[in-house]
Structure 1
Amino acid sequence: MTRARDLALVLLVAAPGVCREFVVPAPSRLVVASTAFYVVVHLLAAGALWWRRTRPGASGLAIAFLTLLTPTFASFASAFSVAHAARHRWLVPVHALTWVVGAGVWTVPDGLVGPGAVVIAGLTGLYLGERRTLRQMLTERECELRVEQARADERTRLAAEMHDVVTHRLNLMVLHAGALRMAAKDDGVRQAAEELRTAGRQALAELRDLVGVLRSGRAPRIPDVLPDRLSRLVADSAATGLEVTLTEHGDADTISPAVRRTMYRVVQESLTNVHKHAPGAHTEITIHCGPSSARAVIRNARPSAPGPALSGSGGLLGLRGRVEMVGGTLTAGPTDDGGFEVDAVLPAFVPT
């Protein structure tokens, strides 16, 4: 279909030029020759339009050279084409200049009509080309909006499924823990049941935040007071029998909220790994908050019972990705005394 349009354009441009040579020859030309010579020039110039898509520069220069021999209507089509395609637009003034030279307009008072028509053709092509580009941009933006809407619908569906499946089980766990606390006669069992019920309620609160993120696509609202949150986290671990100490250096208010959340997750995941793989091991948490960087070091001693190595933990792999996302680094590995250490270094400021 494209080739058929190109052929039609070649014939449409060649016809008026050939007819003009037989009916009303141009009053002035730079090169004086026979009518047959001018007819061949018109045919060659129109034929050069065949390559205006694949080789616009070569096609335009060929037409400009032929226009020096005699003004050709192919100059109009070439000027429009290069301006519309936004390729080799410098050919538009070249076509106008070669028309001026080829037609010898300085000897013909009304000879500026041709160069003016070349410029008008170029401006028309420029306008239509920019309009086409704008239409394509609007179409692409519309497609992006549709994709975003599809993602939002998928988030809503995932949120509904998570709410139906996980929340129901957590509610049952909290209810059973409350019933166990009321029915148990041993103080230790009642305390353990209360801790289980509290942990379940906290899990429900975090799950509600996550479901809200999936539904709205917005970041969860997490308190930015790092010391209080870390203190509660350490207290919860200590309540389960883990010997853990927290040491803080510097002012936590100097770091941005995104760094606070990431540091909290580093400590949380590290304590989770201690509970799983080194139960009962003494754990030290050291937080350094400086003007340009923040650092969290979580070190646990040798576990009382052997456990699997932590270096292959999927939680630590995911945590490393989260730390790197905010421009930080995380290293984790065994220590010389048989324990394990997690060391995260984060920038003090990251845009929220």
Structure 2
Amino acid sequence: MGNVRLVNTRGRVKRRGLRWASRREAMFDLALMLGVQATLVVVLWAPLHLHGPEGLLIQSACAFFLLFRRLTPLSVLFVMLASSVGMYFLGRWQPDLMAGMVGDLNQGWIVLAVPFAVYAALAYSPDRRRAWLMIAVIFLVATRPGDPVLLERLVGLVVILGISAALGHYVANLNERVQRAERQQHRLAEEARAEERVRLAAEMHDVVTHRVSLMVLQAGALGVTAKDPATRAAAEDLRAAGCQALEELRDLVGVLRSSPGDMIEDTVPPRAGGEAALPDFTELLSESESVGVPVHLDQRGNPALASPVVARTAFRIVQEALTNVRKHAPGAAARVTMRYEPDRVRLTVRNSMPTQRVDAALTASGSGTGLLGLRQRVELVSGTLHAGATEDGGFQVDATLPAYVPTRDEPSIPPQLPRVRGIA
């Protein structure tokens, strides 16, 4: 089990509560921030010698927030708005400090990071109305109301802020069109998948179920006509196995015919005509222990809350996981944890670090698609499955399944159990 990786987080830069979509985006924002800082040093180098370094330090502090322009664009724009208001009052109370920040006191009073923050707020924020409001306030403050209006100052602010805002608005609209196209493509794929599910269900019902039914009938007839007790017992075992296979096929066909978005009922309805025996986990664990894999079972809750198709899916997960332990982690111990809750089933299979050498021939005997098949089987019943290495050198398979999966083959029977979610 040790060399299978289903989740690849390589190239992702994650932060607590925030994250960049990729490492490339993070590096670009870092380079942009450093580029603005370098530009500030070049532009304000002469005023720095005349008026001191305070203005450059304030500009650099504002530019630092560009590092988070994708993560919290409105917050960064608000910082720029606050800096513009602060510069307005600094220009009146501390002209020397203001000259150290902008160089030319006749120009608009904004920090160099403002155009980039304006672009980000419109391109990445879903609340563009608030972004436009803050941009308007920044423009108004930067024009220095109360001072003589200079055409050059107005034209400069319109060009700087207008181009940044127009680019941000264009990119936002472009992203929205891309997202709509992706949603449309996803919807078409879901429709095609649903049609394929229905086709597979029809083929299984018409071909496989028919053949298995014939086998069950022939086994029943053999059990009645055979004179040898051993033959009758074998025929009865074959008939019982066939009946259980028919029950599983019925569940699977019903799930395939159901839409993935169907509402899951609040109750676990009884099944008409009785139901096939549920999988025996004790026998499966004993089988693993007999071949040298010690397994500890921790089971809590009421298994009756899970419908048969869910119970059989859980059985297949445990079976495949323990098989992989035998193949890929010889000498390791395994622990199976099952939690039956009113609305879901939590299942975890975890093994320790292998203590023996891996048999290359045994490892190569499989198809290598066991976990992939499990994931597809779990998704078929609207569950989730995660698998990966643990910190202690072992491996863990963690699955969450709905307690009840409705199928279209199930008759409508008045529920006998109390509601478990309290929905009236």
Greater helix content? 1
TM-score, normalising length from structure 1?
Answer: 0.42
Larger Rg: 1
Question: Higher relative contact order at CA 8 Å, sep ≥6: structure 1 or structure 2?
Answer: 2
